[in-house]
Chain A
Amino acid sequence: MVEHKGAHSVISHLILLLGALLVLFPLYIALVAASHPAEALIGTTPLWFGPRLSENFGSVLGHGLQAAGGAPVWRMLLNSTIMAVGISLGKILISLLSAFAIVYFRLPGRQICFFLIFVTLMLPVEIRIVPTFEVANHLGLINNYPGLIFPLIASATATFLYRQFFLTIPDELLEAARIDGAGPWRFFRDVVLPLSRTNTAALFVVTFIYGWNQYLWPLLITNQESMYTVVMAIQRMVNVPDAPVEWNLVMTTALLGLLPPLLVVLGMQRLFIKGLIETEK
């Protein structure tokens, strides 16, 4: 390495420290606010912790915010979990299967199929919201888990990643399997699936965060409080009509809403980075 001693190193540390502070500052202030009673936040922002952290967490988990309808946040966290895991598993399953079909069969029209899957990259949910909502409505997908999950499980990136990976699996494995009399299903289950384990785990991390952080789709597809997700419900808590915002409880809810993906990112950092870099590039 070049130049990493003395003054240069001090400057490097200073830059990184400033960056880390910039990133952590909003989270710190949120945590501090979540530890205070509502009165402590009127017209000011405390910079050090108060005594009410566990009460605030207990209160939003059990009763939510009265001004925003009082839906309990534990239920939102449950809904978010079901949605995120459902989207994740759904994406992985249909991408694994379709990539296998495209790579390992001389199926006529496979290139067109691949192209069609690929084009979905260019159609983010945000630009086709009204007609997609109408399709979901016709299929009875309003206010239920299938509605939160199915419209979001198509995945060009996951299919692409699996396809690229399958292309690197040595042809000899397929030959050997066929000599042993294995059909496509056996080959898929006993060879391809186990070899894909690391890729699948990395994809799970990335797609879980994607699913958990969905906002627009849950906003459209749910109108019953029992089906709200935590990320989507936060907006109702900061935009309460005719009442001051209860910032201590809003921050408590926001922290609960970002904690699960945060734990996944930090706890599985290596898999997360692998998944992110490989699905996107």
Chain B
Amino acid sequence: MNVDFSLLIPEFILAGAGFLVLLVDLLVPKAQEHRRNVVTAATAVLGLAVTGIVAIATQIDTGERLYDGLLFIDRYALLFKVLFAGIGIAVIVMSVDYVADKMRHPGEYYALIVFAVLGATLMAESGELLTAFISIELLSFSLYVLVGLSRGDARTAEASAKYILLGAISTAIMLYGISQLFGALGTTRFTEMGPLLTGAGGWNLTLITGFVMFVAGLGFKLSMVPFHMWAPDVYEGAPTPITALIATLSKAAAIALLLRFLAEAGSGSVNEWRMPLAVLAAATMIIGSLSALPQTNIKRLLAYSSIAQIGFILVGIVPNTVIGANAVLLHVIGYAFTNLAAFTVVVVIELKLGKESVADFAGLSKRAPVLAMIMTGALFSLAGLPIFAGFLTKFYLFTSAVDKSLEWLVVIAVATSVISLYYYIRVIREMYITETEDGSKLPVPLLLAGLAWVMFAGTIAVGTYPQPFVDATNAAATVLTPWIGL
């Protein structure tokens, strides 16, 4: 076995950066809390930035398989590698003020974010079930700890316990599914599974349980209905930047893995899984949108809204086409910008007001006009309105589904879009229309203001000048062409 380790330089840098953060944390004296926080954060950001730059600089046009097909280093993985590094940086920048205010262990906190990014990156690269499983575990364990890292808060403890317990169960289910698949097919590599799944014998019970359980395990990470119950509680209880991390990084990584798995292993048997997955997509959209309606806590609202968003993404996965994959990747990018913008605003509100219910947004247009504008933009983007990313990416997703005679799914998607507008508009109404007595200006930390602007600009950029983004997603989606149709 001949492995070209140079292809893995970005991953080595990422792992090294994680340990470096821990080391730096030890070197700065305990008493200097503030300094420790800033230095470790800066180290982590630097590590992620270098990873992203090196990944782009060392990119290769061909797809390489390492370790006999366990890892794929290709344009598909590259897209996610850069995206994940970006998300990691954004979340760390979002965290600096938050950690100073509410957390005890900055070093561990930032290091775990870096390890989560590493896990997510490996998920996008893995071409084999067990590698995928270990990557998922690396991501999940980092997140389990991060969710519970906040200073004594009952909600945090509950969220953490719930996340670990349900996560462990889903892991067990997934592992059992993998064993079934291996038992039935004798291989765990996606590309080798593909032809076997289409085999003449058809799908026997072992194969079906294996396939369903593996996808169900991923469905838990995605908060796909009916595996979505954990999301609102965890979103609410976790430290807000970590909520943002779960909403963007963990979801995107699971999408990356699911899309690759279904394309490389499942393309031949697409007729077996298309309809069930389409039904789940529809259920995810409907339940996500309807459950969001009565929510009064902004983080719970965003949790349900992200469930609905997963439904939209599945609309692009179901057709199993390149155009669909393209749409999914573009939506993931636009969705990351949008969500990070929204969560940055939530972090500011939480830091300054100590609360995060929808009613706390009242009068924000007077108290912090820029934040109100950015939040409005982010919510309109989630609702799929122009000039923001959500408009184009949803349009793209729905177009790809109509191509494969899934009109009914598009009609449901479109209908849930209207429902979603209603609950997003409630937040906007609080910010702009509700009058408040307290009209004092909110001081916005410079770092968070800058981050919010960058994410806002990204949201608009995807929505108005998408060609560079689509070029990147197209290069990534093309990697899947040997398996899926146009």
Same complex: no
Q: Which residues of A contact B (CB under 8 A)?
A: none
Q: Which residues of B contact A (CB under 8 A)?
A: none
